[in-house]
Chains A and B, each alone.
Chain A
């Protein structure tokens, strides 16, 4: 049925979600890391 259906292909959906989660976790870990580093320094 075309790209829309292709975009909803299970494999691509899993990839999209996985990438989004990884990026979200990276962002969150930066947040925590900078606070932890500041705690260590202070």
Chain B
């Protein structure tokens, strides 16, 4: 077939543009990946600062630092920023960097769409953060935006809705790019069932995003029309139903939880074999378990709503379907443990974070099982037990996996090795303080402390103080993370091509740092044989 000559034909002959043009007009997967990661890091600290305000206010009972309305805005904004601004863009950044390198492609399939997906985000978050400065303040009804409370917001309400639409559009476009790249751009010899698990977990995540983000968009569009155009989707006085919003929201919200955690499973499945110097135990089972988790995530949403009231059959269904998720998740934990078994283990920073993930994420998983039991949930619902649960899943779960991924691939990206001693300090401080921060919240929740309150009864004081001290320690120790990266980029020792002794995969067959366009020539049969894992 004749080759269609296009303006892109010269791409394999040039390097990056210079100055701001390189970033504003970026179509290179590495540049866009870097922008996503930098953006996620900034948002991590913005959201983290809000968490510090929350924990400072909760250090002791009574109102001391902020008024209750602002406190509620902080909890709402902290969640929205951490979920949509920090964790999701960090995953997209890692996907942008790694997927083309891991599947033997020169770039993402749709580079201009990739640019557009990223550049939507700064506008979305400027809009969202702008709500802090308008009359009525930032949204304060919780990230779940339940009506009728969320409809009582001030001028910030439509801004937040528009920001959520923009974030959703960005995620959907990014996901389309991931699916299309993996399905169409794999080099000859890279099959679906031998590509790295990070690609698999992202492929499944991308399908989840494409299916669920439009549902969130639909829900917030209806909130908007209820507020401004006199519709009554969620207003009982007009014949609508506020509970319907909760069903629609959680039909998005529960798969969203897996959107945040599945790529973490992929990264941990890359790191544990490398530092165990063994192939991953049960690759196929890992793929099918990921797909099973994704499927089940669509049929469990109402476990977030047990206390709203539902028929006994509904309670039973959602309890049992939720518990079913522990089977494929258990398969994964078993396989990671089996990979470690009799491995030649070493404990470099990526492995430390991955092992911490393994233990601490499992704690979050177990408390999730407790919450799946209806009568127990009636006690735990809307208490700090729930806060402890999802923070165990998201902080030592998703965020530790992101850090593990960055520490794993940073030498490959930059061609330089970071200060591993400092990174080990970062690990220990993070792991100790994250437990000081979140473990006492289990006790507070079981003792009945409600979530989303700026003040509390005095019997909750001690554990709140402990939790706040953990928060300040965790927050401060995170400053090491950008410092280590900056130091690595500026003055790191030169890294080798394979970086880690046990590293295995196509990305390690490229130089450190890799060329501007990853695989301008398809990897040869020998490289494929060496680099492809299974």
Contacts and interface: CB of A to CB of B under 8 A. Distances in A.
Interface string B167-187: 000001001110110011101
B388 interface: no
Interface in B199-243: 210-211, 213-215, 217-219, 221-222, 231-233, 239-241
A33 B239 CA distance: 20
A27 B210 contact: yes
A4 B517 contact: yes
Contacts of A31: 214-215, 217-218, 221
A10 B214 CA distance: 31
Contacts of B248: 34, 38
Contacts of B2: 10
A15 B1 CA distance: 15
Given A3-B104, A15-B184, A42 B214 contact: no
B6 interface: yes
Nearest to B171: A27
A12 B110 CA distance: 12
A38 B210 contact: no
Interface residues of B, number: 49
Contacts of B12: 1-2, 4
A8 to B, nearest CB: 7
B281 to A, nearest CB: 32
Interface in B481-526: 517, 519-522
A2 B521 contact: yes
A10 B421 CA distance: 50
Nearest to B104: A3
Interface in B5-42: 6, 8-9, 11-12
Given A3-B520, A7-B185, A23 B180 contact: yes
Contacts of B9: 5, 8
A17 to B, nearest CB: 8
Contacts of B244: 38, 41-42
B302 interface: no
A12 B177 CA distance: 14
A28 B239 CA distance: 27
B233 A2 contact: no
A31 B215 CA distance: 6
Interface string A25-42: 011101111110011011
A39 B107 CA distance: 42
A35 B222 contact: yes
A9 B8 CA distance: 12
Contacts of B219: 34
B229 to A, nearest CB: 13
Contacts of A39: 233
A26 to B, nearest CB: 6
B383 to A, nearest CB: 31
Please indicate which of the listed interface residues A1, A19, A24, A39 has the most CB atoms of chain B within 10 Å of its own CB: A19
Contacts of A15: 184
Interface in B104-125: 104-107, 109-110, 113
Contacts of B185: 7, 16
Nearest to B520: A4
B67 interface: no
Contacts of A28: 214
A7 B181 CA distance: 10
Interface in B62-86: none
Contacts of B222: 35, 38
A5 B107 CA distance: 12
Contact of B521 (A3, A11, A23, A26): A3
Given A8-B8, A10-B4, A16-B110, A34 B241 contact: no
A9 B522 CA distance: 14
Given A15-B184, A23-B176, A26-B211, 17 more contacts: A1-B12, A4-B11, A5-B3, A5-B9, A7-B109, A8-B8, A8-B9, A11-B1, A20-B109, A24-B176, A27-B172, A31-B215, A32-B218, A35-B222, A41-B241, A42-B233, A42-B241
6 contacts: A8-B6, A24-B176, A27-B172, A31-B214, A34-B248, A42-B240
Interface of B: 1-4, 6, 8-9, 11-12, 104-107, 109-110, 113, 172, 175-177, 179-180, 183-185, 187, 210-211, 213-215, 217-219, 221-222, 231-233, 239-241, 244, 248, 517, 519-522
